[in-house]
Amino acid sequence: MAITRRVALKGLLATAVGAVTGTATYGVAYERHHIGVTHASLPVSGLPAALDGLRVALLTDIHHSRLVGAGDVTKAVQLTLDQKPDLIVLGGDYVTFADRAFVGPVAELLAPLRAPHGVFAILGNHDDEKDVPAALTRKHFTVLKDQRTRLMIRGEGLELAGIRFWTRRPAQIAPVLKNARDTVMLLAHDPRRLTEAAGLNIPAVLSGHTHGGQVLLPGVGAVAKAARFPILEGVGSRENTSIFVSRGLGTVYVPVRFNCPPEVALVTLRART
């Protein structure tokens, strides 16, 4: 029996619906909970030889909420500790839409994090300016809100400059860098700060915010607007500035990840040649 055009179209439609449904089911039930460790090398201009090989764990975009449960956060914390990093950076968005019900709980879940040279936190666009930093400080994390701190590691200085999500213009970032004597690493939730960092000759940036796109469809790419970001995930650069952007842990808007699994990132600093 000949297959009519209508029957063929119905078959194609059913296949497409099935594929989308299957993708969504996989992304909700499995991939968004399949947390792994990503290893990356970040070339840093002017990095002293003593700091070459320094291992920095980056855990960002946790989004603890009804959609991102305690089990996922606990797993990410343990994966971070298993890597035995030299220092740990928390990259912001601990909760979603500044939901106070999860601020205390997420700080408690993160509390076991420890590293030889400390745990440092910045704020994301989903974090408020009061409750989140207070909760993290109570757990003995150093919260950098448009502030810089200097670490002495292996006899060399490393300066961490942490900025708020809303600190965007060079004129706002420059005061945070004033009188910096050593290699500076900018902790900025939004990877769009790569532009300002390059203009200010900051050698390294750690970011999150993008979720790596969260949903990457074959042949289409990120459903979210990826074009506005200089890099969606991984290592990138502009002029003498290198950046690493983490896919992060949680989800926002929809509880789905596809072709974009959550991660704990272990970034190894390397002297740029």
Assign 25 to helix, strand or coil.
helix
Percent of the chain topping pLDDT 90: 82
With a cut of 70, say whether residue 2 has pLDDT above it. no
Q: pLDDT tens digit string along 232-256?
A: 999 999 999 999 999 999 999 899 9
The pLDDT-based confidence of 224 (bands split at 50, 70, 90) is low
What DSSP assignment string belongs to 113-141?
Answer: ---TT-EEE---TTS-SSHHHHHHHHTT-
The pLDDT-based confidence of 220 (bands split at 50, 70, 90) is confident
pTM for the predicted model, two decimal places: 0.88
Q: pLDDT tens digit string along 254-270?
A: 999 999 999 999 999 99
- Round to whole Å and give the CA distance between 121 and 130: 14
Q: pLDDT tens digit string along 116-154?
A: 999 999 999 999 999 999 999 999 999 999 999 999 999
Location of structure tokens 């003593």? 50
Assign 267 to helix, strand or coil.
strand
Q: Look at residues 153, 159, 156, 103 and name the one whose alpha carbon lies nearest to residue 128.
A: 103
Please give the residue that has the higher pLDDT: either 63 or 5: 63
CA atoms within 13 A on the CB side of 6: 0
Assign 105 to helix, strand or coil.
helix
Q: Look at residues 114, 126, 113, 132 and name the one whose alpha carbon lies nearest to residue 74.
A: 113
Report, as an integer, the average pLDDT of 222-236. Answer: 82
Looking at residue 105, its pLDDT comes to 98
Looking at residue 221, its pLDDT comes to 79
Looking at residue 147, its pLDDT comes to 98
Under CATH, which number does the domain 34-271 receive? 3.60.21.10
> Contact 159/181 with Cβ under 8 angstroms?
yes
Q: pLDDT tens digit string along 5-56?
A: 344 333 333 333 344 444 445 545 468 899 999 999 999 999 999 999 999 9
Q: pLDDT tens digit string along 178-191?
A: 999 999 999 999 99
Location of structure tokens 């960002």? 60
* Cβ neighbours around 129 below 10 Å, total: 12
